[in-house]
Amino acid sequence: MTTRVLSAAVIAVIAGCAAGGPAGAQDLDPRAYLKVPMGSNVVTAGFNFSSGGVLADPTSVVQIDKADVGTASIGYVRSFPLFGKTAQAMAALPYTWGDVSGSVGTQAGQITRSGLSDMRLRVSVLLAGAPAMTLQEFLKSPRKPILGASLTVSAPTGQYYPERLINLGTNRWGFKPEIGVSLPLGRRWLADVYAGLWRFTDNGSFFPGTKTRTQETVGALQVHLSYSLSARAWVAVNSTWYTGGEATVDGAPTGTSLSGTRLGATLVFPVGTRHAIRVACSTGAVIWYGADFTTFSVGWQTGWLDKRAGAR
């Protein structure tokens, strides 16, 4: 088996963890539920730049005029069999820095922040359409509709100071159960639809460190349409709709929530026989409530298969 075929089996199907960012419920992850052979490994490194209200928190007394935020991340993805199904585990650690301008009352100012932001973890299982396969079985398997499910966890590893109004971390856990469907349309087209719910624990050290901030569930629906340019290159148009997330501080409603849609595009193309580059952009299309920002990202990824991936 050639290195080109091996890398095509791994790299062409990895999309979502190349460049982590602060979008949360506004994520856009095409091709998140595709079959891969057992023993696939992918290492990623990425950078994204977001501009706009990306760090805006409507429960804060700060009125943010503009934020320019850069995030560098590293990640690792591994596939493995789980009760005869194809499963994947992912971990991504981001480091963020940004310049924020805004005002508190009538006093305007500008600050800079840099440090770790919240780690992202994800486990997914393909429930139907893609059983656990060796490399040989994977290469011979036909394209079928796939039903998958996942759990994404946002861990409170980010920099957080209770006495500060603006932080890179959220000082809380986030959990997103999600179900997704991947539908092949002919030989080259693919449609993806995911529905998920973000749930959050409380932040018991909200500014000035003595208050408790809570946030209600945020629902999100993603729709993607992608086209395979070759065995290892593809392009996608992406969209998401999200709603909910009303926040309270010490039990008092703040009248704030999230509601809007985002649109984006993704391009993945090979570099040599073992590597690939992922380029993506997204922006707010319609924002009824919440932050409006634009994000550009680029990521590098390389993959390999375990030596025994071709045999049972």
Q: What is the CATH number of domain 3-305?
A: 2.40.128.130
Look up tokens 């992922």; give the residue. Answer: 278
Contact 141, 35 (CB under 8 A): yes
User: pLDDT tens digits, the chain, 312 residues: what are they?
Assistant: 444 544 555 555 554 444 344 446 678 899 999 988 899 899 999 999 998 877 666 566 566 777 889 999 999 999 999 999 999 999 999 999 988 887 665 566 788 889 999 999 999 999 999 999 988 888 888 999 999 999 999 999 999 999 888 888 999 999 999 999 999 999 999 999 999 999 999 999 998 899 999 999 999 999 999 999 988 899 999 999 999 988 899 988 877 778 889 999 999 998 887 889 999 999 987 766 667 789 999 999 888 888 765 555
**Nearest Cα residue to 192 out of 183, 201, 205, 204:** 183
Contact in structure between 232 and 278 (CB atoms under 8 Å): no
Task: Name residue 275's amino acid.
Answer: H
CA 35/CA 13 separation, integer angstroms: 8
Domain borders along the chain are 3-305
